[in-house]
Structure 1
Amino acid sequence: MDTSETTDSSAEPRADAPEPAGADRRGWRRWAMDTRPLRRPAYRRLWTSTIVTAVGSQLTAVAVPKQIYDITGSSAWVGYASLAGLVPMVAFALWGGAVADTVDRRKLLLVTNIGIAVTSLLFWLQALTHLDSVAVLMVLLALQQAFFGLNSPARNASIARLVPAEELPAANALGSTVMQTGLVAGPLLAGALIPVIGLPELYLIDAVALCATVWAVLRLPALPPLSGTAVRRAGMREITAGFRYISGHKVLLLSFLADIIAMVFGMPRALFPQLAAETYAPYGEGLALGLLFAAIPIGAVLGGLFSGTFSRARRHGWMVIGSVTAWGIAVAGSGATRNLWIAVAFLAAAGVADMVSMVFRGAILLSAATDEMRGRMQGVFTVVVAGGPRLADVLHGTAGSAFGPRAAVAGGGLLVVVLMLGLAAAVPALRRYRV
C-alpha cells in the first residue's frame, strides 16, 4: 500500500494514560462488544456525553416537526423545516471541520455544546409562551443545526487523540451503537411523553440533559493542534485544501464513495409509507410502517452489541467493501418479498451491515488522515452522512412512483452491489488498505 495514504495515529500524543489489559478474549466475550476504549477516562467521558446527545436530540427531532404540523396542519411545512436545518448544517460542518483543525477541539466542543443547550432552552421558551410561529421554529432549527455542524467534526476527530489506532474500530462501534440506540429509543420516548407532559417540557428535558454533556466536555483534556501541524485560519482556502487532500488520498475518497453508493442508491425509507399502505396493508398499515422504520436501526444496534466479531479485523478496506455489498443484498431482499416479517428481517440484516460499514469507514478516516486534516475529513463525513439519505429520498420516491415501491427497493439494492463491486475492482486502493 502507498504509504502516503495511511498514517500511524498511535505515534501521535494522546490525552490518555492507562493502557488496557490484554486484548485476548475467549468464549462469548469474543462475540460481545469490545469495550476496551471505555477503560480510557477521556474517551469514556466523550462517549458518555454522546449517550445524552443521542437520546436528547431525538426528543427535539420529534418535537419540532410535531409542533410545526400542529401550527400549520401541513406536511409540506414540515419538509421545508427539514431543509431549513439541512442547509446550515452542511455549510457549518464544512467550515467546522476547518475550525477543528485550527483550535483546541475541547474548547470548540464546549462552545458548541453550550450553543446547542441554549437553543434547546429557546425552543422550550417559545413553546411555553405559545408563540406559535413557524418562522421562529425554523430559525431556531437552523441555529441548532449550525451548532451541530460545528460540533460533529471536532467530536469525531478527537477520538483518534483519545484511543490508540488498534482501538479505533471498537471506539467507533461504541459511538455508533449509542447513536443508533438513540434513533430507536428517542422517538419512542418522545411519543410516550408528549401526551403526558406536553411539548414544552420535552424541549426542557433536552436542554437540562445537555448540561451533562457540557460537564463531560469540561473534564476532557486539552486537544490543541499537534505541534508543527496547526494552520492559522479556517477559511475557504483551508476548506478547499481538505477536498484536495481527499482527492489525493484514494482510500479516503473511496470510503466516501462507498457511503454515497450505499445511502443514495440503497436507502429505501422514502418508500416505507407506500409499502405500508399498499404491499403490507393486510398486516396493518401502522404496524407495518413502524416496523419498517425501526428495522434498520434495531439491526445496527444488534450489530454494535456483537461488534467483538469484527472490530478487531485489520483489513478495513475489505470490511467496507463486504459490508456495503451485504447492505445492498439485504435491501434488495427486503424489496423482493411480500411478507412483512421477512422484509423486516432483511432490513435488520441491512442495519447490521450498515453498522459494520460505519465502524470501518470511521476507522479509515481517523487512521488514514493526519491530525491536521481530521477535522476537515469529519466535516465532509458529516455532510455525506446527512446528505446521502436525503438524496435517496428524492431518488427512491421518484423511482417508486415510476416502477412501484418493491421494484424500486430491490433495484436500488442490486445497484448498490454492482456499483460497489465495480468500484472495488476498478480501484485497488480500498482492497489493499489495512491497519
Structure 2
Amino acid sequence: MASKLSAVIPDFSPWHSSRDFRLLWVQGLVTFFGSTMAMVALPLQIKEMTGSPLAVGAMGAVELIPLIVFGLYGGALADYFDRRTLILATEAGLGVFAFVLLVNALLPEPMLWPLYGVAAGVSALAGLQRPALDSMMARIVPHDQQTAAAVLNTLRWQLGGIAGPSAAGVIVAYAGPATAYAVTIVGYAASVLLCLRLSPAPAAHDAEKPSLRSIAEGARYAWSRPVLLGTYAIDLVAMIFAFPLAIFPFLADDLDAEWSLGLMYTALAVGSALLSATSGWTSRVRRHGLLVIFGAAIWGLAITAAGWVGNVWLVLLCLAVAGAGDTLSGLGRSTIWNQTIPEELRGRLAGIEVLSYSVGPQFGQVRAGAMAGWTGTRSAFWGGGLMCLAGVGLLTAMLPRLVRYDADTDEDALRRRAQQEATAQQR
C-alpha cells in the first residue's frame, strides 16, 4: 500500500532536507496569494476604465522591455551578489508598487497611466528577483530531489493561485480593487519578514562582475546546449500562441457568465494542483524532455478546446486540463535546468529562463488581446491553441536531443551532480 501511495502523492523530501527550502516555500505562498489579488484586479480595472481588450492586452507590451532588460541583468547580479539580499530588496520594492496601486485606486477618479507604469515597474523588479530565487533551488536542494522540489514549488503556486483569484474575484466585485491592493501590500510585508530568516547565499569569491560580457557568457552556454534551447523554445511557443489570460474578462462576457471570471483563473490552478497532488511518479522519471513536450501539447490542445466549446463549465474543465499540461511541462523544464547548469552560471541562465517563461506570456497577452479585437474572443483562443500545437510538433522534430534526454546518462547532468556533491563535502 505504501509503495502505491508513493507513486501518487508528492515527494516531500526537499521539505525535510532543507530549512531554506521550507522558508522559501512559505514565503512564496504568502507573496503569491497577495500578488494574485493585484493580478486579477489590475486588468479588470483597465477593462472597466477603457472597455477595450487591446488596452488590457497592451499591459503585456508595457511589461516586456523591462522584463527583458532586468531579467538578463538580474541573472548576472545573482551570480555576483548575495541572493538573499537581492530577494529582500526586490520584495520590498514590489510592496511599494502595490502601495502606489492602492493610492491610485482610492482617488475619486483613478488614473490609467499609473496602472501601466506600475505594471512596467513590477516587471522590472520581477526580472531582477526571479534569477536569484530560481538559482537558490539548485543550491539548497540535493540533485536527486530537484523534480520533487519543482513539484512542491508548483503546488505552492497552485495553492496561492486557487485561493488568490477566487478571493480576488469576490473582493474586487464587492469591496473594489483598493481592498485587493491592500491585501497585496500585507502579503509583501509578510514575505520580507520570512526572507530575513533565510541563510546568506553569497556568490563565489571569483564571481565575475555583472556586465554585458558576463551576460553574453551565459547566453553562449545556453546556445551551445541543444537540450536547454529546446526547453526555452517550446515554452516560448506555447506561451506566445496560447496564453489567453488577458482576455478572460471578455470570454466571461461572451459566455454571459461574468461571475465565472475568478473561476477561470482558478481553473488553471486547480488543474495544475491535481497534477501536482498525484505527481509521486514524476520523481522516478528520467526522460524529462518528454515531459516538456507532452505537457506543452496538452496545454495547446486544451486551449483550443476552450475556444470551441460554448458551455462555461466545459470551458472551465478545458482550462483545468490546460493547467495540468502546463505544470507537466514546467516540471520537466525546471528539472533539466537545475540538474544540468553549473553553479557559477546558474544566475545568468536563470535570467534567460525568466525570459523563456515570462516574455512568452507577455507576447501572448499582446497576441491574445490583438487577435480578440480583430477576429473575436473565441478565435483568439482556438486559433492560438492550434498554432501552439503546430509549433510544438515542429520543434519536437527539430530537437531530437531533447526527446532523448536522460538524467542518468546526460553528460551535463552527471557533471552537475558531481559538482554539487563536491560542494556539499566542502561544507
On whether the aligned pair clears a TM of 0.5, the verdict is yes
| Corresponding residue of 2:419 | none
Partner of residue 251 from structure 1, selected from 200, 207, 227: 227
1:30 aligns to 2:7 (yes or no): yes
Identity rate, percent:
34
1:326 aligns to 2:298 (yes or no): yes
The verdict on how the C-alpha distance between 1:373 and 1:425 changes in structure 2, with shifts beyond 3 A counting, is same
Q: Which amino acid aligns with 2:15?
A: L
1:176 aligns to 2:154 (yes or no): yes
CA drift of 1:365 comes to 1.5
Alpha-carbon deviations, 1:303-333, whole Å to 9, x = none? 1222213243111112212222232333334
CA drift of 1:260 comes to 1.3
**Matches of 1:286 and 1:243 in 2, distance apart?**
44
Q: Which amino acid aligns with 1:218?
A: L
1:379 aligns to 2:351 (yes or no): yes
* Equivalent pairs, count: 405
**Matches of 1:324 and 1:165 in 2, distance apart?**
25
Alpha-carbon deviations, 1:53-98, whole Å to 9, x = none? 111112233444555667x555466555554344323321121111
Q: Would the aligned equivalents of 1:396 and 1:408 in 2 still touch at CA under 8 Å?
A: yes
**Matches of 2:369 and 2:230 in 1, distance apart?**
27
| Corresponding residue of 1:236 | 212
CA drift of 1:148 comes to 1.8
Alignment of 1:280-319 (within 5 A): 281=255, 284-287=256-259, 291-319=263-291
The verdict on how the C-alpha distance between 1:399 and 1:143 changes in structure 2, with shifts beyond 3 A counting, is closer
Partner of residue 141 from structure 2, selected from 152, 163, 167: 163
CA drift of 1:357 comes to 0.6
**Aligned CA-pair RMSD:** 3.1
The verdict on how the C-alpha distance between 1:138 and 1:320 changes in structure 2, with shifts beyond 3 A counting, is closer
Q: Which amino acid aligns with 1:262?
A: A
**Matches of 1:29 and 1:331 in 2, distance apart?**
31
CA drift of 1:181 comes to 3.2
| Corresponding residue of 2:411 | none
CA drift of 1:287 comes to 5.0
The verdict on how the C-alpha distance between 1:167 and 1:127 changes in structure 2, with shifts beyond 3 A counting, is same
Alignment of 1:4-403 (within 5 A): 26-39=3-16, 40-65=18-43, 72=49, 75=52, 80=58, 83-125=61-103, 127=105, 132-194=110-172, 199-226=177-204, 228=206, 230-231=207-208, 233-269=209-245, 272=248, 276=252, 281=255, 284-287=256-259, 291-396=263-368
Q: Would the aligned equivalents of 2:57 and 2:365 in 1 still touch at CA under 8 Å?
A: no
SS in 2 for 1:310: helix
Q: Which amino acid aligns with 1:235?
A: S
SS in 1 for 2:199: coil
The verdict on how the C-alpha distance between 1:397 and 1:147 changes in structure 2, with shifts beyond 3 A counting, is closer
| Corresponding residue of 1:9 | none
| Corresponding residue of 1:20 | none
**Matches of 2:268 and 2:169 in 1, distance apart?**
19
State which drifts further: 252-261 or 394-403.
Answer: 394-403
The verdict on how the C-alpha distance between 1:338 and 1:88 changes in structure 2, with shifts beyond 3 A counting, is same
The verdict on how the C-alpha distance between 1:269 and 1:46 changes in structure 2, with shifts beyond 3 A counting, is closer
**Matches of 2:25 and 2:190 in 1, distance apart?**
12
Alpha-carbon deviations, 1:255-281, whole Å to 9, x = none? 001101222233344665665555xx4
SS in 2 for 1:26: helix
The verdict on how the C-alpha distance between 1:88 and 1:309 changes in structure 2, with shifts beyond 3 A counting, is same
The verdict on how the C-alpha distance between 1:338 and 1:212 changes in structure 2, with shifts beyond 3 A counting, is closer
**Matches of 1:370 and 1:194 in 2, distance apart?**
44
Q: Would the aligned equivalents of 2:249 and 2:258 in 1 still touch at CA under 8 Å?
A: no
- Residue segments in structure 1 that go unaligned for 5+ positions in a row: 1-23
Q: Which amino acid aligns with 2:333?
A: R
**Matches of 1:396 and 1:137 in 2, distance apart?**
20
Q: Would the aligned equivalents of 2:64 and 2:362 in 1 still touch at CA under 8 Å?
A: no
**Matches of 1:288 and 1:44 in 2, distance apart?**
34
Alpha-carbon deviations, 1:92-145, whole Å to 9, x = none? 112111111111111211222222233334444555576844444544443333
**Matches of 1:69 and 1:329 in 2, distance apart?**
28
Q: Would the aligned equivalents of 1:170 and 1:312 in 2 still touch at CA under 8 Å?
A: no
The verdict on how the C-alpha distance between 1:214 and 1:234 changes in structure 2, with shifts beyond 3 A counting, is same
Q: Would the aligned equivalents of 1:86 and 1:145 in 2 still touch at CA under 8 Å?
A: yes
State which drifts further: 182-191 or 266-275.
Answer: 266-275
- Residue segments in structure 2 that go unaligned for 5+ positions in a row: 408-427
**Matches of 1:276 and 1:91 in 2, distance apart?**
34
**Matches of 2:168 and 2:252 in 1, distance apart?**
22
**Matches of 2:313 and 2:24 in 1, distance apart?**
37
CA drift of 1:368 comes to 1.6
What is the TM-score of this pair, normalised by structure 2?
Answer: 0.83
**Matches of 1:157 and 1:431 in 2, distance apart?**
25
State which drifts further: 107-116 or 204-213.
Answer: 204-213
**Matches of 1:73 and 1:271 in 2, distance apart?**
14
**Matches of 2:87 and 2:69 in 1, distance apart?**
18
Q: Would the aligned equivalents of 1:173 and 1:311 in 2 still touch at CA under 8 Å?
A: no
Alpha-carbon deviations, 1:368-406, whole Å to 9, x = none? 211122212222222232222332344455656777665
The verdict on how the C-alpha distance between 1:199 and 1:173 changes in structure 2, with shifts beyond 3 A counting, is same
